[in-house]
A and B are shown apart, each in its own frame.
Chain A
Amino acid sequence: MNGSRINRFFPYLLLLPSFLILLPFLYWPTLQSFIMSVYREAPFGARKFFCGAYNYVNILSDPAYLNSLWRTLLFTALVTGVGLAISLLCAVMLNQKVRGAKLYRTFFFIPYAISPAVAASLWVFLLNPVAGFVNYLLYSLFHIQPPWLTDGFLAFVAVSMASIWKDTGFNILFYLAGLQTIPESVIEAGKIDGASPVQRFFKITVPLLSPTTFYLVVMNLIFAIFENFGIIDIMTAGGPANATNFLIYNLYRDVFINFRPGAAAAQSVILFVLIIGVTIAHFKYNGENVHYQ
């Protein structure tokens, strides 16, 4: 009797330390965002009015915000989809038993280890229209000098490219770990049954990696929506003409530059709902297709 009671409360006791940390740094600010989103506030907090759903109505009826929402979704899909495909490909190649494989793995992981600000500055140098290496190469090979960061479409491509490059290291690491859990015997059996390398890849490797993929999709969604702020801030600052003004950047501008904390809080609530929604949907529809060994 006594023992079972201890068992019932013991897990909560173990959770308590993390909860105590999460409470002031995560739950409390989240709650405050919700409260702030129904207020309008003057810069420096001199005046504050309750305004109900004003901020939400204002944002959701703003074509610029809807445009930003649409672009964010496109960017997220692109970064997650293309990023994971490239990462898987790299991981499979890095999993080969070749000389110096460990060294290559380290090289591929480096982009994830450097800070977004440094990574973005690097890309700005590379893509500089005048002194950049990419345009120098393109000019000497094909005689073209694309305006990477001043054309809306190309800037979108450039930011996506940088984000994919930045997150690849993280994805590869997990895929490599996943690949190494696939027993040699299964692959061997496929070989004996006469499956080609491509068939083996799609029929054996990809399904057996589904738990990893499942986890990485959620992580990449979060990377694409939140973590790539630094890259955007330094590479394009949301421009040109809002082509890369994604939700998180729009939010940042509203709170720190435009001094509209209420509007920004409402945007963060919208983002919160969006992320929760996508994650639940992902668990519900894709979770069923995940094969755990």
Chain B
Amino acid sequence: MKRFFIVLGMLALMLSLSLVNVSAKEVTIQFWHAMGGHNMEVVNSLVDQFNKTHPGIKVEAQMAGTYDDVLSKTQAAVRTKTAPHVIQIFEIGTRVMIDSGIIIPVEDLGKKVARDRSFNWNKWIKPVANYYRMDGKLNSMPFNSSTPLLYYNKTFFKQAGLDPNQPPQTFEDLKKYAEKLTVRDAQGAVTRYGMTLAIYGWFAEQMSYNQDALYVNNNNGRTGRPTKALFNGPALVRFLDLWKAMVDQGTMLNAGAGTAPAQQAFLSGRAAMMFESTAQVNNFENGLKKIGSELGTAYLPLPKGVKRGGVCIGGASLWVTKDHPEEELKATWEFLKWLTLTEQQVYWFENTGYFPTTLSAVEAAKKTRFFTEHPNYATAFQQLLIAKNDYATQGAVMGSFAAVRKTVEDAVEEVLSGKKTTKKALDDAAAKVDKMLAEYNSLYQ
């Protein structure tokens, strides 16, 4: 009987709470994101601030797991008609989201639903706007943009007799430097690797763009749905050959899949260089301080004689789902618009390591001399700005991108373990990807 009353009491409480909500006429916006750890706190404080300054709108931010998790949870939510208003989706989900039929492009949201005439649609820095603009329209709101960088331990450079201000610029240099940085004990076992790298398809994509090579046909899927993989060309072969040679030599630690083990090796001083996302700048600066080392950053190296294309932005953007009352969509627009204001942008990149995505935020950063004081943030940003403006560096978009990335990762593993030659592994992967693309495209014919 006692339990019955407890349940009854809880029901009454819930009912009254929901009544309070209705009577306050507050519009609630659900926002699912994939920012964990420190970055989650930054998201939460942004959301708190928005809620404080916007009575009548309540944004509820929820960290829904990894980027993959957010996508799959959204799928489930759409089927039960409980899709959140705003979802943070990684860049490789772009094609799937456009094809999904559940979204409203943010440009339509701003112009048609909210009828916001004052919003400047050219406020983003070019590489960022270029990625998310498809069919002449901005589909999602750029949010957290990053690129890969070469990170290195300046202290280890000094110990190895290398100039800490002259990071390697070519593949050849990278290999030579790694040899010098590798430390072996009396028995010949490696105690410090020259370099480490996670087996992460994103690096393969970026190394391809950096050499101005397309990843898939139809101009990286920008002028039509891609039908054929092009990543088995010379650009990626060169990169995988280098990777394999360094692992075989014992100057590169093969950290396996997932980025955590490689990060751990770098932060614990077991490896002297690595590629990672700019989103790690903050984490690495603090981490290396703990082991008494200083962090250096540089552009991704290129093979000798190959012209630079440039890196393409990674990270994620904010998508809006369309099946909500107009009132809620308008409130969603308020929230997205607010996030692009200079103040929020500056707060975001100074606290995370992601880029400022708007021009005004870049100006603000220059004024406060943020880049001069934080040269590692500057490297990331400059590398993006010197990128050529073409289809290769605009980055690939395709439907089955997550599966494609996994296929390339498998190929890398086959190469490193010596099961296949570089060319064979990439050709086989390309054949598999062609089939995936055909299967995906056939769904939309």
Contact = CB atoms under 8 A, between A and B. Distances in A.
A40 B442 CA distance: 10
B428 to A, nearest CB: 10
A126 B293 CA distance: 26
Contact of B256 (A43, A145, A239): A239
Contact of A44 (B102, B264, B265, B406): B102
B255 A129 contact: yes
Interface in B148-193: 187, 189
A60 B264 CA distance: 40
Contacts of A152: 413, 417
Contact of A128 (B99, B101, B264, B403): B264
A105 interface: no
Contacts of B399: 43
B264 A130 contact: yes
Contacts of B256: 129, 147, 149-150, 239-240
Interface in B388-445: 399-400, 402-403, 406, 409-410, 413-414, 416-417, 419, 436, 439, 443-444
Interface in B346-395: none
Nearest to B443: A42
B307 interface: no
A208 to B, nearest CB: 46
Nearest to B96: A43
A130 B268 contact: yes
A139 B187 CA distance: 11
B68 A257 contact: yes
A147 B196 CA distance: 14
B78 A44 contact: yes
B72 interface: yes
B199 interface: yes
Contacts of A241: 410, 413-414, 417, 419
B174 to A, nearest CB: 21
Most buried by A among B264, B400, B443: B443
B301 to A, nearest CB: 23
B243 to A, nearest CB: 13
B100 interface: yes
Interface in B243-283: 253-258, 261, 264-265, 268, 270
Contact of B100 (A41, A44, A239, A253): A44
Given A241-B417, A257-B72, A258-B403, A46 B253 contact: no
B25 interface: no
Interface string A216-238: 00000000000000000000110
Nearest to A147: B254
B117 interface: no
Given A152-B417, A240-B413, A258-B400, A43 B75 contact: yes
Contact of B254 (A49, A143, A150, A259): A150
Contacts of A239: 199, 256-257, 409-410, 413
Contact of B75 (A44, A139, A242): A44
Interface string A117-152: 000000000001111000000010001010101111
B79 interface: yes
A130 B261 contact: yes
B171 to A, nearest CB: 22
A237 B102 contact: no
A149 B253 CA distance: 13
Interface residues of B, number: 41
A45 B187 contact: no
A148 to B, nearest CB: 9
Nearest to A240: B413
A256 interface: yes
Interface in B301-348: none
B445 to A, nearest CB: 10
B402 A42 contact: no
B268 A131 contact: yes
Contact of B99 (A43, A139, A150): A43
B417 A45 contact: no
Contacts of B417: 151-152, 240-241
A208 B187 CA distance: 54
Contact of A258 (B102, B199, B402, B410): B402
Contact of B72 (A47, A242, A256): A256
A42 B444 contact: yes
B240 to A, nearest CB: 13
A39 B431 CA distance: 24
A44 B101 CA distance: 8
A256 B68 contact: yes
A178 to B, nearest CB: 39
Contacts of B261: 128-130, 149
B406 A257 contact: yes
A258 B93 CA distance: 11
Interface of B: 68, 72, 74-75, 78-79, 96, 99-102, 187, 189, 199, 253-258, 261, 264-265, 268, 270, 399-400, 402-403, 406, 409-410, 413-414, 416-417, 419, 436, 439, 443-444
* Among all A-B residue pairs, the 4 with the closest Cβ atoms: A241-B413, A150-B256, A46-B101, A44-B100
Given A130-B265, A131-B264, A241-B419, 17 more contacts: A43-B75, A43-B100, A44-B78, A46-B102, A47-B444, A128-B264, A131-B268, A150-B254, A152-B417, A237-B257, A237-B258, A240-B417, A241-B410, A241-B414, A257-B68, A257-B402, A257-B403
29 contacts: A40-B443, A42-B443, A43-B96, A43-B100, A44-B96, A46-B100, A129-B261, A130-B270, A145-B189, A147-B254, A149-B261, A150-B413, A150-B416, A152-B417, A237-B257, A239-B199, A239-B409, A239-B410, A240-B199, A240-B413, A241-B417, A241-B419, A253-B406, A256-B72, A257-B68, A257-B72, A257-B402, A259-B96, A259-B400
